[in-house]
Amino acid sequence: MVTTTWAPVPADSGFGVENLPYGVFRPTGGAPRAGVRIGEHVLDLAAALGDPVFAAPSLNAFLARGRRAWSATRAEIVSLLTDPARAREGAAHLYALGDVTLQLPFEVADYVDFYASEHHATNLGRLFRPDSAALLPNWKHLPVGYHGRAGTVVASGTPVVRPAGQRKAPSDDAPTFGPSVRLDIEAELGFVVGAGSDLGKPVGTADFAEHVFGVCVVNDWSARDIQAWEYVPLGPFLGKSFATSISHWITPLEALEAARVETPTQSPEPLPHLRDTENWGLDIDLEVELHGTIVSRPPYAQMYWSPAQMLAHLTSNGASLRTGDLFASGTVSGPERDQRGSFIELTWNGAEPLRLPDGTERTFLEDGDVVSLRASAPGTSGARIALGEVTATIGPTPA
């Protein structure tokens, strides 16, 4: 059943009252503040709810309040937006999206990126280790991940400058330094931590929703040539840390109840501390768009490791969580070619170029390319909800 609202929400907008993602906006001539998106508007929460926690340039103080407060606030917002008697009151605090500037929604504390898609990991294993097993021995026993750079997480719309770094092709005698020639994307989901945890106390899979507030769309930009030369033996570093883009909107977990599914069968069975008895697989569909053409539709439901398992592994050694921590899923890829979430897979490491409608081809990204990622999920009303969009334009390496 669709919940009705007095707010102007276009049909099939993806941003009805069953969604209500949080973000930070700056009205013309005003200071940044928090709001929720409803249709093509944003509701000023500080004004509408009379709560000064939302009169801030980030969501962090609100996120730190914890799950009970998140749920109570959501119920209060839904009540305001669905009560016809409060329409005049609420409408006074709506801003059209075209009249505001959207910003990074939270201050990122730590950033961790995982490698949770079996299809993605298998594809890369086949590309780079054709004479060995595609998956390394540890892959089905724990969610593999690496620590990224929180300071280079940026909001959708921020241009991405082509990074420079050391590269060494197999045919080269020595490394060279210069702009990356194999710039790539990774279509991912990100999970935003609200409530922190104590150092030395692991967080189990059953407590996932007590700590994680919501979900955003992530593009983990990757310079494949820099990455290939540097990653042995300690993993990704400069080939990843130049930029990670996230959507402006954080969709609360509470809005994703209808999207929850079981993960694919996990064999061997994970060790006890990684067993996800709450079924935190998510039926979320992504889109990868290059210059207005959708080139891939990765299915998140096929991810091998759930976000609850990622969080449990992240803290299993006693590492603490902080408000504003972000962890991402790793590239989302499915079994079909048009379900691959990176260009290194879509073009099979450049051997099978993508042909665009204008006749041009791509293996990796060129300066001026515009990439957009989107995601949607089933909502509680039966209609689909949108998780926002991540868009960026590739700029040249500075001279």
pLDDT tens per residue, range 213-229: 999 999 999 999 999 99
Check if 120 is active-site.
yes
Alpha-carbon torsion, ordered 261, 287, 94, 62, to 10 deg: 50
What's the pLDDT at 170?
Answer: 86
Domain coordinates of the chain in residue numbers?
22-103, 110-395
With b for 16 or more beta-carbon neighbours within 10 A and e for fewer, the 28-59 pattern comes to: eeeebbbbbbbbebbbbbbbbbeeebbebbbb
**What's the Cα-to-Cα distance from 176 to each of 107, 164, 171, 226, 341, rounded to whole Å?**
36, 10, 12, 10, 29
pLDDT at 109 > cutoff 70: yes
What's the pLDDT at 1?
Answer: 46
For residue 3, what pLDDT band results from cuts at 50, 70 and 90? Answer: confident
Binding residues are 113, 115, 129, 186, 188, 220, 227, 231, 240, 244, 331
Fold of the 22-103 domain: SH3 type barrels. (2.30.30)
What's the pLDDT at 382?
Answer: 84
Q: The tokens 């500075």 sit on which residue?
A: 398
The mean pLDDT value for 128-139 works out to 94
pLDDT tens per residue, range 178-204: 999 999 999 999 999 999 999 999 999
Binding residues for Mg(2+) are 220, 240, 244
For residue 2, what pLDDT band results from cuts at 50, 70 and 90? Answer: low
Which one, of 247, 307, 203, lies nearest residue 106 by Cα? Answer: 247
Question: Mean pLDDT for the chain?
Answer: 96
pTM summary value: 0.97
The mean pLDDT value for 37-43 works out to 98
| Percentage of the chain lying above the pLDDT 90 cut | 95
pLDDT tens per residue, range 77-95: 999 999 999 999 999 999 9
DSSP states along 16-59: STTT--EEEEEETTS--EEEEEETTEEEEHHHHH--GGGSSSSS
pLDDT tens per residue, range 312-362: 999 999 999 999 999 999 999 999 999 999 999 999 999 999 999 999 999
**Element housing 291 (H / E):** none
DSSP 3-state of 169: coil
pLDDT at 49 > cutoff 60: yes
Q: Is the dihedral of CA 23, 193, 339, 277 positive or negative?
A: negative
Q: Are strands 293-296 and 100-103 parallel, antiparallel or unpaired?
A: unpaired
Largest distance between two CA atoms of the chain: 74
Residue 322 to residue 299: CA distance in whole angstroms? 29
Which overall architecture, per CATH, does domain 110-395 show? Alpha-Beta Complex (3.90)
Which of 119, 120, 211, 248 is catalytic? The answer is 120
pLDDT tens per residue, range 240-297: 999 999 999 999 999 999 999 999 999 999 999 999 999 999 999 999 999 999 999 9
Binding residues for substrate are 115, 129, 227, 231, 331
For residue 11, what pLDDT band results from cuts at 50, 70 and 90? Answer: confident
Binding residues for Ca(2+) are 113, 186, 188, 220
> Within 10 A of 355 (CB to CB), how many other CB atoms are there?
11
